[in-house]
A = this chain, B = another copy of it.
Amino acid sequence: MTIERIEVSKRLSEAAVHGDTVYLCGQVADDLKADIRQQTREVLANIDAMLARAGSDKSKLLAATVYLKSIEDYRAMNEIWDAWTAPGAAPARTCVGGVALFSPEALVEITVNAAR
């Protein structure tokens, strides 16, 4: 099977596609000053954009891992997440909190894989 990569740097590919399985790197918000709801919206918008570039979309999500700086943000993140998922097509999800992300201002990072 072929491997395709999108936006490759020395550190990472924004996406790696193996056959018809798409792996995205952990997506974060653009505005790290924003609150958890806005950061979650931006993370999900970035996932949508990157999946589109990889020839997929959120209706084909397979698995997702949500990393939260603070588990106190669980409810607010879910509020945005639940409104975003495609009907009948939410991924198998895991969520952990209390982790340190690449910046102390980053409140949420989400890693997904998807079919295409």
Interface residues of A (CB under 8 A from B): 1, 3, 5, 8-16, 18, 20-21, 23-26, 60-65, 67-68, 70-71, 74, 78, 81-83, 85, 88-102, 109, 111, 113, 115
The complex places the Cα of A16 from the Cα of B60 at a distance, in Å, of 10
* This protein's copies in its complex: 3
Alpha-carbon distance between A8 and B90 when the two chains are bound, in angstroms = 7
Q: Is B102 touching A99 in the complex (CB atoms < 8 A)?
A: no
Show 11 residue pairs from A and B whose CB-CB distance is below 8 angstroms, ordered by the A residue.
A3-B89, A8-B88, A10-B82, A11-B82, A12-B64, A13-B92, A23-B113, A25-B63, A26-B95, A65-B111, A96-B101
- Selected contact of A11 from candidates B11, B16, B81, B97, CB within 8 Å: B81
